[in-house]
């Protein structure tokens, strides 16, 4: 009996077992867009026949990315008149079977542009809970089994915190703090919320201007910081307090977000601006007008940065100098950001097209499109990589894409 | 051999024991959830209560739905997710849902419209045939979502009659649908069909848009400072007064809109102004003291007062507008009620930033129009829309 009770208590107190295969937030680990778990099992050539492991119908619209924890895939949707119904759904990664679904009603405004959705911000997980934020500023914390832990209605709390075109910033988690960037023309703020209770730990005022960018996380001077981008630039704050650590005030885009990797932050500012993190005010090491991102956020892979412009041209540049190495025309148009795994970049466009670009050749050798397929529905979601597969969603369905025997081996 | 307590038995037994929670037992859990407040206050107690509540049986569903009658939107979401868990478990376990009890709850219109809609959804998931039979009876339901289904049914019937060339019957079916319709897209769809059939639809009256106003302006809004600046109309409404405006003296002028959706286009009164503030006022004669909603749509910054009390304001410019964009609960007093709208135009010069306009209607919480006791006939196109004497002639 004692043994059983001990085992039970141990099970209740164990920290969540996160793996490199998890994809816990918008653009994955530290919002870098780069899979930590490499490419095993992922498709490189693409065909509907060989690479769609399964597809599942969704109950509503959404631009939000799936989140993957172990063998569970979490997706948010909005449905019904005025998209007032908010869904958080858990699927089994193996077969796509729905494990649970929770439906809520929006307590904040749901008006948004036709092209976006109330389920625009991506959920985020710490491996123990899933935190689902919607454009209506409704925020739900559920455990991985769908048990509600707490909720907030941020427009109930702060009645002018909304954007009539819709909010889209995806939140991040650092330690026990959930960080939501609720920036708009009126009541603009960023809040750090206690993941245990759902209460504010801190709240800071932000520029009164619409902003759809998402925070990034980076290590600077041995401490994890959160970068908050806006039209003013990039503000680095201490995630525990919301206090400013440093501020880059060179202005920045309000649609594509910054990229992180290799001790650098690349900010969509005057094209693209690279900041080297050094524990104090970062050093601007280059600024390149030719590397202006469209809607998609830049991705740093090794010693190169990849930028997709508004014309659907992929630019590859040297991360140390900003010098452009090559360009490659892709299809597009793009509402989503690319993600990387190993030497492959994955792109999904608004016409439902998917493309895989092999970037294994160094220097000025242009990347190669090695895989293409048509999913036939508008895709604005940034895909997720986890459990040896790619997961991507449209307004109607969720797909799991895996490699076939000719692709990279499954784990 | 000494037998140890079988852990597997504990795993099976625990949910069964929890499921024995009785209706009387869930009352404190419901109360804890109903007590949640803004900014996360009460979450901790609600979370503990939710864990126990979600272990209740399907027999408790109606009680939980009933608790939504006295729950705000946050507490309602706590309760809603407990309902999800309980109904999923009952369905998966084969015990099913108490469809008749849920149906009786649904048919009692004293309950919260949102709770009743959830009851309908549960019935639909358990017994789609029964749910289908209930839909036609929801045409005049207090729940806009339930009405929507009944209206959709009638629109579909009307469309079928049109295809069968039974136009006279179709017109009546569409009219019946319009009487019940509160959803903007459905109203527009029905109106279009009726107009095709040569029938008139008084959309402003159906929605309850306010069409007759007095407007004054332009006052300044340079640097968007006008939103916070208090101009004389905010201090008192004197329709005979004259004030210093942005450039010249300004005074109140009558303004009537004939727009089918009640749009009050300030540019028509003052010209294509930028960095300007205007006010619009009207009176609303209510037959009784009653709760109501002011529903406003505008892509400009605005503030609204009812009987001198500031109800709400928002300083967002040109991010989009829609009918019922803002829904503001208020209390009308019996007799004359005075409304004042402040509308600010900013400095942007793009073609999509020209609009300086708003639409306002008064309705109940279901979206049903509340009409003034002295509501004049709906203005028609060609109505003489008076322009302010100081109207700007040149385009900006």
The token duo for B73 is: 């939107």
Is residue B336, in this structure, part of any structural domain at all?
yes
Residue of A nearest to B326 (CA): A109
The pLDDT of residue B1 is above 90: no
B47 and B71 fall within a common domain: yes
Per the model's pLDDT, the better-predicted residue between B206 and A408 turns out to be: B206
Give the Cα separation of B360 and B363 in Å (integer).
10
Length reported for chain A: 411
**Residue B37 in contact with partner chain A when CB distance is under 8 A:** no
Over pLDDT 90: what percentage of chain A?
88
Per CB-CB distance under 8 Å, the chain A contacts of B89 are: none
User: How close are the terminal C-alpha atoms of chain B, in Å?
Assistant: 96
Kindly state the tokens that stand for A254. Answer: 């309000």
Q: Is residue B162 part of a domain?
A: yes
Grade residue A112 by pLDDT with cuts at 50, 70 and 90: very high
The share of chain A scoring above pLDDT 70, in percent, equals 93
Are residues A90 and A146 in contact, defined by beta-carbon separation less than 8 angstroms?
yes
Second-level CATH architecture of A38-58+330-411: Beta Barrel (2.40)
Q: Are B259 and B160 in a shared domain?
A: no
Q: Which residue has the tokens 């049986």?
A: B57
Closest of B35, B25, B34, B32 to residue B59, by C-alpha: B25
Residue B82 and residue B53 in contact, taking contact as beta carbons nearer than 8 Å: yes
Per the prediction, chain B carries an average pLDDT of 92
Least confident of A108-122, A207-221, B19-33, B128-142: B19-33
CB contact B64 to A (< 8 Å)? no
Between chains, do A159 and B78 touch, taking CB under 8 Å as contact? no
With an 8 Å Cβ cutoff, is B224 touching chain A? no
Query: Same structural domain for residues B312 and B264?
Result: yes
Give residue A6's pLDDT: 47
**Measured between alpha carbons, how far is A149 from A140 in angstroms, rounded to an integer?**
8
Residue B9: how many other CB atoms lie within 10 Å: 9
Higher model confidence: residue B150 or residue A42? B150
**B126, B163: one domain:** no
Would you state the structure tokens that stand for residue A160, as one six-digit string?
């002018």
B-chain residue closest to A193, CA distance: B40
Q: What are the tokens at A258?
A: 């910054």
- On whether residue B288 sits in a domain, the answer given is yes
Do the Cβ atoms of B183 and A160 come within 8 Å? no
What angle in degrees, to the nearest 10, is found between the helix axes of A2-13 and B7-18? Answer: 60
Answer yes or no: do B44 and A103 touch at CB < 8 A: no
Q: Which of B383, B179, B379, B376 is nearest to B285 (CA)?
A: B376
Contact criterion met (CB < 8 Å) for B314 and A186 = yes
Closest approach of chain A CAs to the CA of B376, in angstroms?
32
Give the pLDDT score at A387.
Answer: 84
Q: Is-contact A158 A149, C-beta < 8 A?
A: no
**In this complex, is the C-beta atom of B39 within 8 Å of any C-beta atom belonging to chain A?**
yes
**Structure tokens given for B266:** 């300030």
Tell me the mean pLDDT in the region A293-320: 97
Structure tokens at A212: 């759809």
Report the domain count for chain B.
3
Chain A residue whose CA is closest to B227: A186
Domain ranges of chain A: 38-58+330-411
Would the pLDDT of B16 be above 60? no
**Which ipTM did the prediction report?**
0.92
CA separation for the pair A359, A336 (Å, rounded)? 19
Q: Map residue B1 onto helix, strand or coil.
A: coil
With cut-offs at 50, 70 and 90, classify the pLDDT of residue A410. Answer: very low
The answer to whether A215 touches A172, Cβ cutoff 8 Å, is yes
Confidence of residue A45 (pLDDT cuts 50, 70, 90): confident
Tens digits of residue pLDDT in B325-378: 999 999 999 999 999 999 999 999 999 999 999 999 999 999 999 999 999 999
Tell which of B179, B201, B223 closes a domain.
B201
The per-residue pLDDT for range B52-107, each reduced to its tens digit, is 999 999 999 999 999 999 999 999 999 999 999 999 999 999 999 999 999 999 99
Q: Which residues contact A31 (CB under 8 A, 6 or more apart)?
A: A25, A170, A172, A214, A215, A216, A217, A257, A260
Helix (H) or strand (E) holding B87: helix B73-93
Quick check: A1 and B325 CB within 8 A? Answer: no
Which strands make up the sheet holding A397-401, listed edge to edge? A52-57, A397-401, A389-393, A384-386
B174 lies in the same domain as B277: no
Q: Which of B138, B169, B190 is the endpoint of a domain?
A: B138
Pairing of strands B212-220, A397-401: unpaired
Q: Give the pLDDT score at B7.
A: 47
Q: Which range marks the domain in which residue B99 is found?
A: 7-138
Comparison of pLDDT for B25 and A367, the residue scoring more: A367
A164–B320 CB contact, under 8 Å? yes
Q: Are residues B342 and B234 part of one domain? A: yes
Q: Does residue B170 sit in the same domain as residue B313?
A: no
**Please, is A64 exposed, middle or buried when counting C-beta atoms within 10 Å of its C-beta (0-12, 13-18, 19+)?**
buried
Asked if B133 and B185 sit in the same domain, the reply is no
Position B357 in a domain: yes
Q: Looking at residue A49, what is its pLDDT? A: 84
Are residues B220 and B352 part of one domain? yes
């Amino acid at each position: 009996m004692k043994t059983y009770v001990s085992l039970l208590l141990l099970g209740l107190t164990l920290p969540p077992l996160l793996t490199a295969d998890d994809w816990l937030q918008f653009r994955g680990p530290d919002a870098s867009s780069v899979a930590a778990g490499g490419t095993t099992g992922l498709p490189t050539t693409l065909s509907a026949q060989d690479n769609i492991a399964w597809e599942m119908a969704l109950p509503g619209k959404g631009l939000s990315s799936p989140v993957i924890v172990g063998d569970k895939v979490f997706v948010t949707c909005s449905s019904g008149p005025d998209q007032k119904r908010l869904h958080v759904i858990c699927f089994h990664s193996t077969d796509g079977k729905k494990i649970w679904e929770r439906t809520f009603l929006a307590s904040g405004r749901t008006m948004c542009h036709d092209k976006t959705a109330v389920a625009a911000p991506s959920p985020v997980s710490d491996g123990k809970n899933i935190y689902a934020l919607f454009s209506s500023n409704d925020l739900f914390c559920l455990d991985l089994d769908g048990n509600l832990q707490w909720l907030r209605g941020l427009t109930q709390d702060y009645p002018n915190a909304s954007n009539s075109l819709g909010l889209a910033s995806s939140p991040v988690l650092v330690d026990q703090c959930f960080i939501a960037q609720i920036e708009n023309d009126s009541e603009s703020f960023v809040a750090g919320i206690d993941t245990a209770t759902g209460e504010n730990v801190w709240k800071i005022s932000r520029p009164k201007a619409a902003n759809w960018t998402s925070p990034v996380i980076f290590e600077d001077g041995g401490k994890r910081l959160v970068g908050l981008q806006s039209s003013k630039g990039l503000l680095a704050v201490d995630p525990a307090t919301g206090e400013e650590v440093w501020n880059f005030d060179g202005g920045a885009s309000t649609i594509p977000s910054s990229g992180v990797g290799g001790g650098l932050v690349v900010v969509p500012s005057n094209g693209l601006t690279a900041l080297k993190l050094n524990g104090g005010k970062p050093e601007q090491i280059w600024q390149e007008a030719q590397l202006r991102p469209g809607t998609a956020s830049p991705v740093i892979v090794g010693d190169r940065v990849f930028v997709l412009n508004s014309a659907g041209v992929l630019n590859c540049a040297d991360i140390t100098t900003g010098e452009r190495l090559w360009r490659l025309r892709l299809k597009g148009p793009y509402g989503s950001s690319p993600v990387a795994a190993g030497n492959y970049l994955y792109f999904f466009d608004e016409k439902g097209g998917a493309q895989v670009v092999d970037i294994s050749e160094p220097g000025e050798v242009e990347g190669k499109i090695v895989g293409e397929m048509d999913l036939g529905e508008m895709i604005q979601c940034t895909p997720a990589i986890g459990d040896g597969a790619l997961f991507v969603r449209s307004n109607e369905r969720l797909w799991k894409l895996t490699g076939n025997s000719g692709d990279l081996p499954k784990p | 051999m000494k037998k140890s307590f079988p852990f597997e038995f504990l795993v099976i037994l625990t949910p069964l024991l929890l499921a024995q929670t009785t209706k009387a037992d869930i009352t404190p859990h419901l109360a804890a959830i109903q007590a949640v407040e803004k900014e996360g206050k009460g979450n901790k107690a609600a979370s503990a209560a939710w864990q126990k509540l979600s272990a209740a049986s399907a027999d408790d569903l109606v009680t939980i739905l009933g608790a939504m009658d006295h729950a705000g939107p946050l507490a309602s979401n706590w309760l809603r997710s407990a309902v999800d868990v309980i109904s999923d478990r009952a369905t998966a376990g084969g015990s099913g849902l108490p469809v008749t009890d849920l149906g009786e709850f649904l048919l009692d219109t004293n309950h919260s419209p949102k709770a009743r809609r959830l009851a309908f959804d549960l019935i639909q998931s358990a017994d789609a045939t029964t749910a289908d039979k209930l839909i036609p009876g929801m045409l005049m339901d207090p729940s806009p979502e339930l009405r929507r289904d009944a209206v959709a049914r009638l629109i579909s019937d009307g469309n079928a009659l049109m295809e069968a060339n039974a136009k006279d019957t179709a017109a009546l079916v569409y009219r019946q649908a319009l009487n019940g319709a509160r959803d903007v897209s459905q109203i527009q769809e029905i109106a279009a069909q009726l107009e095709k059939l040569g029938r008139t639809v008084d959309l402003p009256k159906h929605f309850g848009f306010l069409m007759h106003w007095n407007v004054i302006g332009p006052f300044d809004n340079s640097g968007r400072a006008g939103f916070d600046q208090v101009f004389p109309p905010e201090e008192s409404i004197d329709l005979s007064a004259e004030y210093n405006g942005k450039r010249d003296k300004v005074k109140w002028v009558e303004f009537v809109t004939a727009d089918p959706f009640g749009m009050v286009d300030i540019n028509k009164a003052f010209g294509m102004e930028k960095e300007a503030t205007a006010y619009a006022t009207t009176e609303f004669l209510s037959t009784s003291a009653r709760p109501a909603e002011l529903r406003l749509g505008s892509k400009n910054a605005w503030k609204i007062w009812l009987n001198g009390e500031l109800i709400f304001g928002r300083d967002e410019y040109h991010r989009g507008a829609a009918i019922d964009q803002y829904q503001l609960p208020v209390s009308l007093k019996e007799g004359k009620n005075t409304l004042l709208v402040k509308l600010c135009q900013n400095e942007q010069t793009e073609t999509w930033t020209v609009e300086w306009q708003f639409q306002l209607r008064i309705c109940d919480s279901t979206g049903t129009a509340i009409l003034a006791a002295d509501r004049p006939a709906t203005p028609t196109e060609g109505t003489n829309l008076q322009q302010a004497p100081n109207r700007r002639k040149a385009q900006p």
